[in-house]
Structure 1
């Protein structure tokens, strides 16, 4: 296609998971889009203006380019070509959990963290009895995240973490998932949440969605269930806005999307876990506000729109909407239809390539009973092995 210099919005798509809501938005708004690999052919009939790689690189080099990507595979493309040093530096800091912790040290001076090389893991001596979290400094999908409180537990956690990461090494670029360095940090006791937001043209944060990340117990770090609803957003919105204001003081950003995860401790303080740049929640998590509140996060970001949360929450029916991942735990070939039948009301259901990823589907159930949502963190996924 002919590259138009006046275009300043662009999407970068990887075929790991492509949201139907996102594709419809790109078509509606006619956003120039670079589709990686075989995805370009799949999108040929979707009325989306498709870019060649050199055209995407040229747009980035022009500057004043607003970018949304659906995966972090594009980090090398962005950092090598984007004519916006501030955003490039932000991407590098956010993608490295150790640098991220260092940046926020002013706000969390008592929070313990340390980075170690994989090759130096044998000499690390944890303080026995102190609950710590092990995670790859560059990671995704909670792969390699473990908890330990003794030297023996640390050694076992390292073995398990490296094994998990190695299993999915070919599915993700080293800029997304890598076992060379690990971050060790304090475990924060309290509920875990995630948020999709962006910084507008003035550098002010715009919150598009807040989700509670449910777990089976304190040793569970899997991505299985996220849910949202009126109560979830009402309770967390003030804390989220306060943190994003602090973040904007440390690193000035404009027209920049993020997905960040945090915990709320027993004192009611928000402790950030990580910030993921240039995208919203992965594998379709970002679609949750669309099904729950009618907020299309992709359109809101690309069009620089801001949700009126007072009005939206006032009109909410109070039901919970969830994002549930079918995990490949004890599963060789999943019986996707059998798993789908476990849900009541569904807003959407998307099968995934289970041979490539550690999940076989994403589901978006709705219920007025939170227990109907939470039951999936206790599911034995091995019972959904196909007998065919």
Structure 2
């Protein structure tokens, strides 16, 4: 069972759904899809399939509210409740990060917080969020004030793009800045609660203050090195949460031997179609592996250790307002092996698109991609 919703479903996903004829919920978004013959089912059929235990996958967290409001699948709803709310996740998993500071506050309470009483470096973010919206790394009182002004200015725009179940600008969590290398994980818990890690992406940043989704890189070496670590850690997570038949996209940081969660994204893999990078890197689709229980033999990819595959979400420069044109042709000329350049409506999604490229780990293309602010490709309308 698949629930598709705004803002975006990739052609790769839609083509596979047309071929496989997995049932797809009929809603406003699926009725707007042209060019694909999907196996659309009504609410009653979808609820019956989900309540009977059929595996369900979503492409968008916009679909979570429908699951919570319409189904009786208590395990799914429990997992969504724990994982989607960053504060609840911290509370439930506190024994895995016993020394981590965190606290919740309403948006209108931020202005009265005494910054001097907080840890030296903190992260401020919505308790329910998506795609780095409203996430700030703060090192001093001036940066704190800058973040509050930014939230006041932009929170209404976030809410226009996504419902409260995806981004809620009314509640925030303040927590310690977690040091270490960041990774993203596409994984699922099977019918026995066992973890299957389908992809591992190394998430790099241009600076300590950078919170963008510009640089996610995967490959055989990255997977072979980190998948066993994350399998063991996620098994410990599920000893506490206890979900079954549950897909998850997780952002973590690894410091030495310790894994700390940044956030969990329930019922989906990498968002806005980003999980499709597994097709380019390893030749399989993560959602097919989950829905069909077709778990790939990842050892087959060891021969391709010299290659890395990057997905990059192209965030607009700070001084743009979404009314400009982006010169995609000029941009992709900077890369030798472009697998795909997916174009987004920046006013609806908040980004210009997703780039999928193939390089080597030391390629100068990756340095360019991480550090360029994209302003040279902006054209005023």
Bucket of the pairwise TM-score, normalised by the shorter protein: over 0.9
Does the C-alpha gap of structure 1 residues 64 and 229 become closer, same or farther in structure 2, counting only changes over 3 Å? same
Question: For 1:114 and 1:149, how far apart are their aligned partners in 2?
Answer: 17
1:78 aligns with 2:67: yes
Q: CA deviation at 1:173?
A: 0.6
What is the aligned partner in structure 1 of residue 339 from structure 2?
A: 347
Secondary structure (helix, strand or coil) at the match of 2:326 reads coil
1:188 aligns with 2:175: no
Secondary structure (helix, strand or coil) at the match of 1:253 reads coil
- State which drifts further: 183-192 or 128-137: 128-137
Question: For 1:164 and 1:139, how far apart are their aligned partners in 2?
Answer: 14
Q: CA deviation at 1:367?
A: 0.8
Deviations 1:31-87 (CA, angstroms, capped at 9, x unpaired): 0112532532424x4232112344334433x43131100001111110112222121
- What TM-score do the two structures reach when normalised by structure 1? 0.91
What is the aligned partner in structure 2 of residue 358 from structure 1?
A: 350
Could you tell me whether the CA contact under 8 Å between 1:336 and 1:361 is conserved in 2?
A: no
What is the aligned partner in structure 2 of residue 320 from structure 1?
A: 308
Secondary structure (helix, strand or coil) at the match of 2:7 reads coil
What is the aligned partner in structure 1 of residue 373 from structure 2?
A: 380
Secondary structure (helix, strand or coil) at the match of 2:95 reads coil
Deviations 1:143-183 (CA, angstroms, capped at 9, x unpaired): 11111233443232222234333223211011100111111
- Match among 16, 38, 49 for residue 59 of structure 1: 49
1:288 aligns with 2:277: yes
Could you tell me whether the CA contact under 8 Å between 2:182 and 2:252 is conserved in 1?
A: yes
What is the aligned partner in structure 2 of residue 252 from structure 1?
A: 242
- State which drifts further: 131-140 or 268-277: 268-277
What is the aligned partner in structure 1 of residue 120 from structure 2?
A: 130
- Match among 14, 18, 29 for residue 27 of structure 1: 18
Deviations 1:6-43 (CA, angstroms, capped at 9, x unpaired): xxxx1111141212221222122210112532532424
Could you tell me whether the CA contact under 8 Å between 1:129 and 1:150 is conserved in 2?
A: no
- State which drifts further: 66-75 or 370-379: 370-379
Secondary structure (helix, strand or coil) at the match of 1:98 reads helix
Could you tell me whether the CA contact under 8 Å between 1:328 and 1:359 is conserved in 2?
A: yes
Unaligned 5+ runs, structure 1: 1-9
Deviations 1:248-273 (CA, angstroms, capped at 9, x unpaired): 101112211000000112x2311111
Question: For 2:349 and 2:293, how far apart are their aligned partners in 1?
Answer: 33
Question: For 2:163 and 2:225, how far apart are their aligned partners in 1?
Answer: 36
1:40 aligns with 2:31: yes
Structure 1 residues 98-109: aligned runs within 5 Å: 98-109=87-98
What is the aligned partner in structure 2 of residue 3 from structure 1?
A: none
Does the C-alpha gap of structure 1 residues 387 and 122 become closer, same or farther in structure 2, counting only changes over 3 Å? closer
Aligned residues: 375
Could you tell me whether the CA contact under 8 Å between 1:336 and 1:360 is conserved in 2?
A: no
Q: CA deviation at 1:222?
A: 0.9
What is the aligned partner in structure 1 of residue 214 from structure 2?
A: 224
- Match among 93, 98, 108 for residue 82 of structure 2: 93
Secondary structure (helix, strand or coil) at the match of 1:173 reads coil
What is the aligned partner in structure 1 of residue 261 from structure 2?
A: 272
Question: For 1:128 and 1:317, how far apart are their aligned partners in 2?
Answer: 44
- Match among 258, 278, 297 for residue 286 of structure 2: 297
Could you tell me whether the CA contact under 8 Å between 1:168 and 1:357 is conserved in 2?
A: no
Structure 1 residues 173-184: aligned runs within 5 Å: 173-184=163-174
- What TM-score do the two structures reach when normalised by structure 2? 0.93
Could you tell me whether the CA contact under 8 Å between 2:5 and 2:29 is conserved in 1?
A: no
Does the C-alpha gap of structure 1 residues 122 and 98 become closer, same or farther in structure 2, counting only changes over 3 Å? same
Question: For 1:34 and 1:136, how far apart are their aligned partners in 2?
Answer: 29
